[in-house]
Amino acid sequence: MEIAIFAIFALLALGSSLVVVMHRNPVYSTMSLVVTLFSVAVLFVILGSPFIGALQVLIYTGAILVLFLFVIMLLNVTKEENTASTQKGQLGVAVLGAVIFGGLVLALFWSSHVPLDQMAPLSEELVSMKGLARVLFTEYLLPFEIVGLLLLVAVIGATVAARRPVLPDATSGLMPSDLVRTSPEEEPLP
Amino acid sequence: MTPNLIATGINIAVMLGFMLTVVPVMVWVERRGSALIQDRPGPNRLGPFGLIQPLADALKFMFKEDVTPNAVDKPLYLLAPALAIMPAMLTISVIPFGPDFVLNGVAYPLMITSAPAGVLLFLALGSLGVYSLVLAGYASNNKFSLMGAIRASAQMISYELALTMAVLAVVIPVGSFHLGDIVEYQRAHVWTFIPQILGFGVFLIASFAETNRLPFDLPEAESELVAGFHTEYSAMRFASFFMGEYMSMTSLSALGVTLYFGGWSLPGVHLDGLLGAIVGLLVLVAKIGVCMAVFVWVRWSFPRFRYDQLMRLGWKVLMPIAIVNLIAVSAMTLAGWL
C-alpha cells in the first residue's frame, strides 16, 4: 500500500516537474509545479511528517505559486510569445548540468553509505513537530534567527523598491507623504 | 474490511451527506433570507415556504446548455469548476463531529482524518481554493474574468495570512494542532472566543474575504466586472462555483465553531456512545447553521468595499491586530493565564 502510494506520487512528481520545464505556456508550467509540490508533500506524509507536508502545501502551493500566477497574469505572458527560447549550446549545458548533479548525488551516496540493515528508521523524534521545534530553537537557533533577519531585510527591501519616488510638490500645500499612494498591486506581498 | 475502514467509511458518508445537503438548503436560505431583509416575499410558490425551489434551480442548471466559448484555454477552463468544490470537500475531513466512539474497547474518532496536524492540514488544503478562481479567470480569455482572477489571487493571499495568524493563536494555549484536542481543551476551560475575542474578530472578517462573500466579493463584483471570474461559465459549471462557495463557507464555519465555540460540545453536556455522536453532530450542525445565517445576513446588509480599501484593511488593520493577538496570547500562555 505504502509502496504503491509512493510510486504513484513519485512518478507524478517527476512527470509534472518535467512538464514544468518543457511546457511553453507559463501558466501550465506553474500548475504543473503545483502538482509537483503537492506530490512531494504527500511523500513527506508517507515519511511520517505530515507537519512538513502541510507546511509545504500551505506555503508553496497556497501562497508562493499563487503569486507566480499573479505575476504571469499581470505581465500577460501568452504562449504565442514563446518564452522558452532555444539558444545555441543549451543542450550541451543541460547535459553537463545533469552530469554534475548526478555526480554530486552519487558522491553523497558514496560518502555516507550505510548497509541497508544498519540504517535506523526515521524516528518520531526526527520528524515530529515537537522534535523539529526543539532542534530549531536549540541547536540551530542562530541560523534560524539569521534566516529571520534575512527575510525581514528582504521585506523592507521589497517595500522600498515598490514605493513610488517621492516628488516634492511646491505648488500645492500637500506634504510629500500625501502624494505617495500605493495602489493595491504595489502592496508588499509575502 | 477492518473496523477502522468501516468507521472511516461511516465518517465519510456522514460528512459527505452533510456537505451535499448544505448546498440546496443554503440556496433556499439565501434567497428567502435576502427577501426577508429586502422586505419582499422571495420564492414562495414551489412547496411549503418555497422549499422545493432549490430542486427547481438545480434542474434548471442541469438542463441548460453548457456553452464553452471558442477562445478559452480548454483544459484549464474545464478544470477550474472541479477545483472549486475539491478544497472544501477535503477540508471538512479534519473537523471532529462528536466524542470518540468507543466500541469493544477501541476508540474511533468521529472525524474522517484524525491527523495530528489537523489545523495545518485544513489551512493547507483550504489555501488551494484560490486556484479555481484564478484558473477560471485566466482560462476564460475575457478581460473581466482576468480582472476578477487577479483580484482573487491578491485578496485571498492577503487575508489568508491574517486568518492563519488568528488560528495559530488558538492553537498556542492548547499545544496541539489536532482539532479534537482543541475541542477537549475548550470543554475543560472556556470557549476560546471569550479570551480571544480579538482573534475571533480577525478570523470572522478574514473568512468573509476567503470565501469571496460580500462585502469582499471583489472577484465577482457584478456591478463592475459583469460576473468576474465566472463570466464565461454557464449551466452546471457555473453552478459548481456556487456549490464551491457554499461548501467552503460551510467548512470554514465548521473550523470557526470548532476553534472558537467548542465545536460539537455543549457546556454541561457529557454524553457518550451513539447518543453522544448524534447529539454532537446535531450541535455542530446547529452552530454551523448560525454561522451560515450570519454569512447571509452580512451579505445582504453591507455594501461592497473598494479594492484598495480591501487591501488596506487586510494589510494595515487585520494583520497588525492578528500579530498583536498572537503575541498577547503567547505571553498569556507563558504567564499561565490561559
ipTM: 0.78
Distance of alpha carbon B43 from alpha carbon B288, whole angstroms: 24
Q: What is the pLDDT of residue B199?
A: 87
Q: What is the pLDDT of residue B159?
A: 86
Q: What is the pLDDT of residue A179?
A: 47
Distance of alpha carbon A50 from alpha carbon B177, whole angstroms: 11
Of A51, A70, A184, the CB nearest to B117: A51
Q: What is the pLDDT of residue A80?
A: 52
Q: Which of the pair, B222 or B293, is modelled with greater confidence?
A: B293
Among left, alpha and beta (phi > 0; psi -120 to 50; other), residue A167 is beta
Beta carbons of B258 and B179 less than 8 angstroms apart:
yes
The set of cell numbers assigned to A92 is 550541451
- Which residue carries 520528524 as its cell? A127
Of A28, A55, A69, the CB nearest to B120: A55
Of B125, B127, B308, the CB nearest to A183: B308
Inter-chain residue contact A62 with B128, CB threshold 8 Å: yes
> Among all residues of chain A, which has the CA nearest to that of B152?
A70
Report the gap between the CA of B165 and the closest CA in chain A (Å).
13
pLDDT digits over A66-122, tens only?
Answer: 888 888 877 766 655 555 556 677 788 889 999 999 999 888 887 777 776 676 766
- Which residue carries 422549499 as its cell? B51
Report the gap between the CA of B318 and the closest CA in chain A (Å).
15
Distance of alpha carbon B37 from alpha carbon A92, whole angstroms: 69
* DSSP label of A120: P
Q: Which of the pair, B81 or B109, is modelled with greater confidence?
A: B81
Beta carbons of B324 and B330 less than 8 angstroms apart:
no
| A137: enclosing H helix or E strand | helix A129-137
Inter-chain residue contact A57 with B115, CB threshold 8 Å: no
Distance of alpha carbon A80 from alpha carbon A124, whole angstroms: 50
| A-chain residues near B115 (CB < 8 A) | 50
- Which residue carries 513610488 as its cell? A164
Under an 8 Å CB criterion, which residues of A touch B?
A: 27-28, 31, 34, 41, 50-51, 54-58, 61-63, 66-67, 69-70, 73-74, 129, 183-185, 187-190
pLDDT digits over B171-211, tens only?
Answer: 888 888 888 888 888 888 888 888 888 889 999 988 888 88
DSSP state letters, B82-149: HHHHHHHHHHGGG---SS-EEETTEEE-SSS---TTHHHHHHHHHGGGHHHHHHHHHHTT-HHHHHHH
Inter-chain residue contact A58 with B146, CB threshold 8 Å: no
